């Protein structure tokens, strides 16, 4: 793996490793104390992170659970969940008296297959902040949105030329989504009109004296609460675009406020080579810190440093660690206290690891805890 020397200023220690009967395919936090884990055998488990025990589950969902979105509901500590399973979107109410639910217990099931595309499957779901629309991406390259009030499904007029792995809503842009695909493209849509607003095609990695081993398929994306976009590629690169970043306007700032989200502007991005293999999972925190993992379990955290006065952006690596039991990574989630990464072991079992943030000893002039 390509890695530049760096001085870590964050530390995480492995708190717990939990195995599951089948591969972990996706992860999501409920509230801070609950972890939702989907598997490739069509099952879902909800863990209490104080006891590390399963408190609710669902099984027999028909296909791999490829994505999860948890939704807070008044009067319930357990989140409701939207999940993608095969070609269907399923909503479950997890505070049901049943310990283990099935598709028959779902509040809603929406089949998103188009005629003639019966083999198509869902990859990622995203819920807007108003909880009114659910976006989805599919193997066929289709990007769409479900209006949750009317159950009307809208598909974008343009689709990716290959598999579409990810889709995200843009914060504070109620009509806009951005998707990433194996066609190396990021597409920015107005989903009400179904039209493209902007695009960014990631160029091939230039290798001196040789050829790149893999095209820059877009394997993962994340968008911060301030409008920064990150994308991880199959050839081990990380793109961070700051053209849509919202920051306090100062008299000395060179950047003017824009009425448009310009997150795909190539003049306000940085692309760096961080690994020899695919970057398969990305997650922003509210602080703007970016956490990621490669397919083979190298986890990294970067601080995105934006100088509005100079109009520049840089990435500062603050932590790197390899997973212990997860030999192939499928999913990653973070909060202010931990990093949780899931996938499968070398033997092919499902597994996830919980890494807990240690005190930043360097702030206090103390040696790192051994």
| pLDDT per position as a tens digit, 161-182 | 999 999 999 999 989 999 999 9
With a pLDDT cut of 90, the percent of the chain lying above it is 80
Residue for token pair 């809503």: 169
Task: Kindly state whether residue 68 falls inside one of the protein's structural domains.
Answer: yes
Task: Kindly state whether residue 56 falls inside one of the protein's structural domains.
Answer: yes
Band (pLDDT 50/70/90 cuts) for residue 349 is: very high
What is the total count of domains within the chain?
1
Global pTM reads 0.91
With a pLDDT cut of 70, the percent of the chain lying above it is 89
Task: Kindly state whether residue 88 falls inside one of the protein's structural domains.
Answer: yes
Please provide the average confidence, as pLDDT, over all residues in the chain.
90
Task: Kindly state whether residue 367 falls inside one of the protein's structural domains.
Answer: no
pLDDT reported for residue 6: 66
In degrees, to the nearest 5, what angle opens at C-alpha 347 toward C-alphas 345 and 353?
15
pLDDT reported for residue 213: 63
* Average confidence (pLDDT) over 355-368: 64
pLDDT reported for residue 119: 87
Task: Kindly state whether residue 170 falls inside one of the protein's structural domains.
Answer: yes
Task: Kindly state whether residue 69 falls inside one of the protein's structural domains.
Answer: yes
**Per residue in 102-137, pLDDT tens?**
999 999 999 998 876 778 999 999 999 999 999 999
pLDDT reported for residue 251: 41
Residues spanned by the domain of 188: 12-246+261-361
**Per residue in 92-108, pLDDT tens?**
999 999 999 999 999 99
Burial letters 219-255, b for 16+ CB under 10 A, else e: bbbbbbebbbbbbbbbbbbbbbbbbbbeeeeeeeeeb
**Per residue in 236-282, pLDDT tens?**
999 999 999 987 554 444 555 567 899 999 999 999 999 999 999 99
CATH number reported for the structural domain that contains residue 92 in this entry: 2.130.10.10
Band (pLDDT 50/70/90 cuts) for residue 288 is: confident
Band (pLDDT 50/70/90 cuts) for residue 212 is: low
pLDDT reported for residue 369: 46
pLDDT reported for residue 8: 76
Task: Kindly state whether residue 7 falls inside one of the protein's structural domains.
Answer: no
CA distances from 30 to 99, 155, 169, 282 (A): 17, 28, 19, 18
Task: Kindly state whether residue 179 falls inside one of the protein's structural domains.
Answer: yes
- Greater model confidence, 254 or 140: 140
């Amino acid at each position: 793996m390509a890695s530049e020397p760096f001085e870590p200023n964050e530390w995480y220690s492995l708190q717990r490793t939990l195995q599951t009967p089948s591969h972990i395919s996706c992860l999501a936090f409920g509230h801070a104390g609950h972890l939702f884990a989907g598997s490739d055998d069509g099952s879902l488990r909800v863990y209490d992170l104080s006891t590390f025990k399963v408190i609710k589950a669902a099984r027999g969902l028909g296909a791999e659970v490829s994505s999860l979105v948890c939704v807070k509901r008044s009067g319930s500590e357990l989140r409701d969940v939207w999940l993608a399973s095969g070609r269907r979107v399923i909503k479950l109410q997890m505070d049901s008296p049943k310990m283990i639910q099935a598709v028959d217990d779902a509040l809603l099931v929406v089949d998103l297959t188009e005629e003639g595309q019966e083999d198509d499957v869902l990859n990622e779901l995203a819920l807007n902040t108003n909880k009114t629309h659910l976006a989805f991406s599919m193997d066929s390259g289709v990007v769409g949105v479900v209006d949750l009030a009317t159950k009307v499904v809208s598909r974008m007029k343009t689709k990716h030329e290959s598999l579409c792995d990810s889709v995200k809503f843009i914060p504070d842009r109620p009509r806009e989504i951005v998707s990433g695909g194996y066609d190396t493209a990021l597409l920015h849509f107005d989903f009400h009109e179904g039209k493209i607003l902007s695009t960014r095609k990631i160029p091939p990695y230039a290798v001196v004296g040789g050829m790149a081993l893999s095209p820059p398929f877009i394997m993962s994306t994340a968008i911060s609460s301030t409008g920064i976009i990150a994308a991880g590629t199959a050839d081990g690169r990380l793109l961070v675009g700051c053209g849509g970043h919202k920051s306090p306007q100062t008299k000395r700032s060179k950047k003017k406020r824009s009425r448009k989200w310009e997150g795909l502007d190539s003049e306000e991005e940085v692309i760096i080579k961080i690994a020899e293999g695919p970057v398969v999972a990305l997650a922003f925190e509210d602080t703007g810190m970016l956490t990621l993992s490669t397919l083979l379990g190298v986890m990294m955290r970067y601080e995105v440093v934006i100088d509005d006065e100079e109009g520049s952006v840089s990435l500062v690596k603050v932590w790197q660690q390899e997973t212990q039991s997860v030999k192939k990574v499928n999913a990653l989630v973070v909060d202010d206290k931990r990093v949780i990464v899931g996938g499968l072991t070398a033997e092919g079992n499902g597994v996830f690891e919980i890494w807990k943030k240690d005190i930043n000893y360097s702030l206090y002039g103390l040696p790192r805890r051994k």
